[in-house]
Amino acid sequence: MKVYVKTPARLHLGLIDLNGDLGRIFGGLGVGIDHPNIILEAKKNQTFTFSGEKAELTQKLALKFLQANGIKEKVAVNVKQVIPEHVGLGSGTQLALAVATSLSRLFTVEGSIQDFAVVMDRTIQSGVGTAVFEQGGLVVDGGKNTKNSSKKAIPLICRQPFPDDWRFVVAIPNVKKGLANEAEVSAFKQLPPMPPSEVGKICRLIMMKLLPAIPEKDIKNFGEALTEIQRIVGDSFAEAQGGRYSSSLASQCIEFMLENGVYGSGQSSWGPTVYGVAKKEEAKEIQMKTQAFLNQSVGGNVFVVKGNNRGAIIKVIK
Amino acid sequence: MHHRAVDRMQETKKVTVIAPAHLHTGNFDMTGDLGRLYGTVGFAVDRLLEIEVTKTNDVKSEDEAAYLFASRFVDAFDLAGAEVKVKQNIPKFVGMGYHTTLALSIGSALAKLYDLKLTTEQIGLTMQRGAITSLGVHAFKVGGFIVEGGFRVDQREKMIPPLIFHQAVPNNWLFVIAIANEPQEKIVKMRENEDHILRNLKLMPKETSDMLSRIVLVKIIPSIIENALKSFGEGLTAFNSELGKFWNEYQCGRTYCHPVVEEAIKIMLHRSTCACQTSWGPTIYGIVDGKNQAEILTNELKDYLAKNGGGEVFYTKANNVGAVIGGK
């Protein structure tokens, strides 16, 4: 028996509460996108064998899951395809959950994806990646209860399918990678608390502009809300990343996309990935223009992608 | 001929609708600068309206409001008529959504009797109910705890605000509901002015709408997902009392509609972290964990109201089902 897992990637669209005085901190908005993907296959094996991409990291993750569940048997995991890491596409959570889920099927370990996220230590900051792995779509997580330890699932508070005829134009400029892991945790700790007034603005934009725009298929209001949330969040991170976005190029690229027809734009997580939301029929042209724009400076990869409304695909192959 | 006779026999002659009352917690955006207004938080509770509707050739009902709504619907779709019997009622004019629930129940029954394919939203628009706040529409459709996202200011009264969050309320969370008699006359008068008040409402400062939105998104919603009654109640009380302060010019400068209600809120807060006035009042409600707590608080409030003008006090669980529409 083999288990095959293919994950979506995620764009992080913004944090909600960087103050925490109501008893919850962080909370985030994000969306599953159809590519890039992590694709792996796992099977029981006589020896531990980790092949393909990210073998070392995959081994660590597999051992963590097996140890946590008291499993003594060995496995072979072949990672056929990966999401680029530390660019803001959520590769860490997707890989960790892909490994955990595949092994859970091999050894019949009971548990929800949320339980596995706890086991794999993916509940430090955000529940967005876990929700995207589980079911895709546009998701809002409710943040960490400040009284709980980090070993507690972060609740999903809202999930809506991302409209079929909207696209993201995603640009990954060739600049230094964003913060991750310990550097990320420490950057969060150094941030001054966001004033409650700014948190309130973000919350109202989510509830009265961004979320209602999705069932109403109103890309203009969705995009405006997204851009505005990104500006508020970006400004509160200015100290940690030296500006509203992770680099001046990220800022320029966001502005460029906005001037060239995307309805909303921002930076995913710590960057350098930036994105714009566009109508299906307009996305291709904006992609080409943005690619040309990046080619004039540092270069990079620009692509058009659909929302992923399904989450990870898990297949057991007999 | 044979087929037609069979069809006629199977034709629906009588439809029964059982639908929940709702409790309003408040609106989080009365600024409107983001392009939408109100946004409502509230609950469906297991206090039920029951109506029976039969096909007739004209509109008949002993209930004045039922007659009005049935006529409105019959005229809108050019139907023959219907007789509406209100078998069981929810308290009227006290902020438990009697009118909206009745209107949607009648519309749904008539749609079924006359085989019209209509959504609850379309029925609401036909009945002219649920377009400003759609708590009643979603309570009717799905029940539970409800947050809706307001109407677009450019489509006022032409759309029903969409549901943006919904969650079943745990069955052990019991709503203790107190309806004081004392303020009722005043509130009935004020309700006659409701449309005028809403049209001429002072705008809420942005900062207040922002703060209210944050309480809903960061405190109230995550708490119900995590089954945390204490912080859920704290969030509801903070949200509702903040709104009470905003509305206080319509409540003689008070956060709640009447001194009797103010005192009842204090009694509630000894037993429940939640104590809210629904809509204009006078209905208030708290939420407690389990029957024992519910009975203690119910008795305390009964004693208090008995000495202060009387009123009704009861407890019930939430309604997590919405309306049940059955044909015979």
Which CATH number characterizes residue B86's domain? 3.30.230.10
> Do B218 and B154 sit in the same domain of this protein?
no
A57: Cβ contacts below 8 Å, ≥ 6 apart: A95
Average pLDDT over residues A37-56: 97
User: What residue type is assigned to position A125 of the chain?
Assistant: Q
> Do B280 and B236 sit in the same domain of this protein?
yes
Rounded Cα gap, residues B120 and B190, in angstroms: 28
Strand partners, B302: none
Q: Is residue A18 within 8 angstroms of chain B, CB to CB?
A: no
Statement: residue A148 has pLDDT above 50: yes
Q: What is the pTM of this model?
A: 0.93
> Do A180 and A289 sit in the same domain of this protein?
yes
Q: Do B218 and A201 touch (CB under 8 A)?
A: no
| Residue B6 banded pLDDT, cuts 50, 70, 90 | very low
> Do A153 and A202 sit in the same domain of this protein?
no
Statement: residue B12 has pLDDT above 80: no
Q: Domain containing B199 — which CATH number?
A: 3.30.70.890
Average pLDDT over residues B38-49: 97
Q: Is residue A23 within 8 angstroms of chain B, CB to CB?
A: yes
> Do B35 and B104 sit in the same domain of this protein?
yes
| Residue A173 banded pLDDT, cuts 50, 70, 90 | very high
Statement: residue B1 has pLDDT above 50: no
| Residue A147 banded pLDDT, cuts 50, 70, 90 | confident
> Do A278 and A181 sit in the same domain of this protein?
yes
Q: Which pLDDT does position B241 carry in this prediction?
A: 96
Domain containing B156 equals 2-168+320-327
Average pLDDT over residues B43-72: 97
Q: How distant, in Å, are the alpha carbons of A104, B146, B147 from that of B26?
A: 45, 11, 10
Rounded Cα gap, residues B316 and B174, in angstroms: 6
Give the count of domains, chain B. 2
A8: Cβ contacts below 8 Å, ≥ 6 apart: A32, A33, A34, A35, A37, A94, A132, A133, A136, A308, A310, A311, A312
Q: Is residue A159 within 8 angstroms of chain B, CB to CB?
A: no
Q: Is residue B210 within 8 angstroms of chain A, CB to CB?
A: yes
> Do B134 and B40 sit in the same domain of this protein?
yes
> Do B177 and B161 sit in the same domain of this protein?
no
Q: Is residue A226 within 8 angstroms of chain B, CB to CB?
A: no
Rounded Cα gap, residues A248 and A271, in angstroms: 12
Average pLDDT over residues A197-204: 96
Q: Domain containing A89 — which CATH number?
A: 3.30.230.10
A204 interaction partners in chain B (CB closer than 8 Å): 28-29, 34, 209-210, 213-214
> Do B125 and B201 sit in the same domain of this protein?
no
> Do B191 and B268 sit in the same domain of this protein?
yes
Average pLDDT over residues A93-112: 97
Give the number of other Cβ atoms within 10 Å of residue A278's Cβ: 26
> Do A195 and A278 sit in the same domain of this protein?
yes
The more confident residue out of A124 and B78 is B78
Give the count of domains, chain A. 2
Average pLDDT over residues B217-241: 96
> Do A244 and A196 sit in the same domain of this protein?
yes
pLDDT tens column, A227-243: 999 999 998 888 777 78
Contact A264, A224 (CB under 8 A): yes
Rounded Cα gap, residues A92 and A122, in angstroms: 8
Q: Do A197 and B225 touch (CB under 8 A)?
A: no
> Do B225 and B251 sit in the same domain of this protein?
yes
Q: Which pLDDT does position B5 carry in this prediction?
A: 47
Statement: residue B185 has pLDDT above 50: yes
> Do A185 and A296 sit in the same domain of this protein?
yes
> Do A148 and A28 sit in the same domain of this protein?
yes
pLDDT tens column, A250-281: 999 999 999 999 999 999 998 899 999 999 99
Q: Which pLDDT does position B121 carry in this prediction?
A: 97
Contact B110, B74 (CB under 8 A): yes
Q: According to the 3-state scheme, what is the secondary structure of B227-289? A: CCHHHHHHHHHHHHHHHHHHCHHHCCCCCCCCHHHHHHHHHHHCCCCCCEECCCCCEEEEEEE
- DSSP letter for A206, please: I
pLDDT tens column, A279-298: 999 999 999 999 999 999 99
If you average pLDDT over every residue of chain A, what do you get?
93
ipTM of this complex: 0.92
Average pLDDT over residues B127-143: 97
Rounded Cα gap, residues B238 and B246, in angstroms: 13
Q: Do A143 and B218 touch (CB under 8 A)?
A: yes
Which residue from A143, A157, A204 is facing B29, i.e. has the nearest CB?
A: A204
Give the number of other Cβ atoms within 10 Å of residue B290's Cβ: 10
Statement: residue B75 has pLDDT above 50: yes
Average pLDDT over residues B72-78: 97
Domain containing A194 equals 166-306
Q: Do B219 and A27 touch (CB under 8 A)?
A: no
> Do B137 and B208 sit in the same domain of this protein?
no
If you average pLDDT over every residue of chain B, what do you get?
93
Q: Do B216 and A200 touch (CB under 8 A)?
A: no
Q: Which pLDDT does position A177 carry in this prediction?
A: 66
A196 interaction partners in chain B (CB closer than 8 Å): 211, 214
Q: According to the 3-state scheme, what is the secondary structure of A253-294? A: HHHHHHHCCCCEEEECCCCCCEEEEEEHHHHHHHHHHHHHHH
> Do B148 and B198 sit in the same domain of this protein?
no
Q: Is residue A144 within 8 angstroms of chain B, CB to CB?
A: no
